[in-house]
Amino acid sequence: MRPAEGNRLLHLVQEQRLAGTIDEDTPGSPGQKLKALAWLRKAYPVDEEKAIIDRLEREELAALRPKSDSIYGDSVVDQLKKHNLERQAKKDAERAKAEAEAKANLPMSTSKALAEREERRAVDLAWVERYRKKAEDAGLKSVPQMSFTRRVGPATLMTLAVVSLCVIFAQNYMPPPRAARIFPNISMAAATVGTLIGFNILVWLAWKWPPGWRLMLRVFMLVPSYPYVWSMVGNLFSHQMLPHLATNMAVLWFVGTKLHEDIGRGPFLALYIASGVTASHVFLLYTVLGKNWAMNSLGCSGALSALLATWLCINQDSGIRIWPLPPAATEVIQPLFLLALFVVVDLWRLRRGFGFGKSKPAVDARIDHLSHIAGYGCGIVAAQFLKVEPRGRQPEESGKRVVEQGKEQIQMAASSSKSEL
């Protein structure tokens, strides 16, 4: 028996000795209970016979008491409460009777239509309940017993693999020519961010389809009690509530398109996925170490925090336009000040909500502030490397090269036309 189980058994046996219920069953084998009882009798002597006699007297006294919890019977308040409940039950019965009579007096076609609607509603509820039970049987209904390494190890390897692939992708991605693009008439930033938004909307719609709940729980929600490796990536595109989806997609559009124009498609996608997976891994480590099994995570907030932090760090030397503030406000609001403000607010909400490892109820448990902070850290680190990336940070030089190449092509075309003449 492990030390934690042994201490729990000693605690239960000692409680039985004090309450006079030593004859009741406890976890573990009878031999283990006898060993625990022998050790407790030697270390902490208790008059077990007196405790058993006191227990029997309490049970006899409880049997002689009236049905009310009080030894003096029902109080005036209890009687009034009972009267009100009976009156409400009577009203409900009368209302149900009146509805039944009204349905009976309806025309046959109307009554039949109402009956069919109720039958369809019952079938629909049963259909949804059946898939809900299947989703609960996917290993997420109870907390499985496994070691820290078994629970976190695969997710850690997945995080390292995704981050490594994202770095390789960012360094080797070459944008396609205009003729090879699916949407050649819109900017690459709008096409990339619009595709991400579209995929997030598709996943949100998938949550509305009960037959897919089992798969959604495994792939598109990070559950620390039983984390599936693919959920480290899938939860970045997953939202269940429409306000959550709308807020994140608005931030993704306004910040993502601007950052995309600064760093290009390859680094942008790599930063979005790598930072989101890293933020999810930080959340997983925190919840597993704190054994907060009731918590789960989904959404792209960690990735959005990284995009925001990177954009603010890259533009730290220039003002940023914040709608609906006037342009003059950009001279006052510094990007790094905004970033520091966001970090401080999330740290404050994290301290109040999660309690830094304490198991108290969260004040704002619906928002994953820990992933926000991890995302800010990823964005700050990424900005230090993206600053020296010439592909997205020197638009003037690349523009000059394009103009020069265009001039050379025009001159070559003119010379060739002269030779033909």
Phi, psi of 246 (to 5 degrees): -65, -40
On whether the CB atoms of residues 369 and 350 are closer than 8 A, the answer is yes
Summarize pLDDT for 354-400 with one digit per residue, the tens.
Answer: 443 444 434 355 688 889 999 999 999 999 888 544 444 444 444 44
Give the per-residue pLDDT at 18.
84
As a whole number of angstroms, the longest Cα–Cα distance in the chain is 123
Q: What pLDDT is recorded for position 69? A: 54
The percent of residues above 70 in pLDDT, for the chain, comes to 71
Three-class secondary structure assignment of 306-358: HHHHHHHHHCCCCCCCCCCCCHHHHHCCCHHHHHHHHHHHHHHHHHHHCCCCC
Q: What is the DSSP letter of 177?
A: P
Is residue 113's pLDDT more than 70?
no
Question: In 3-state terms, the chain is what percent helix, strand and coil (to 5)?
Answer: 70, 0, 25
Residue 69 DSSP SS3? coil
Record the pTM: 0.61
Digit-coded pLDDT (tens) for 176-209: 888 888 888 888 999 999 999 999 999 999 988 8
What letter does residue 241 receive in the DSSP assignment?
A: S
* Angle, in degrees to the nearest 10, between helices 369-386 and 335-353: 150
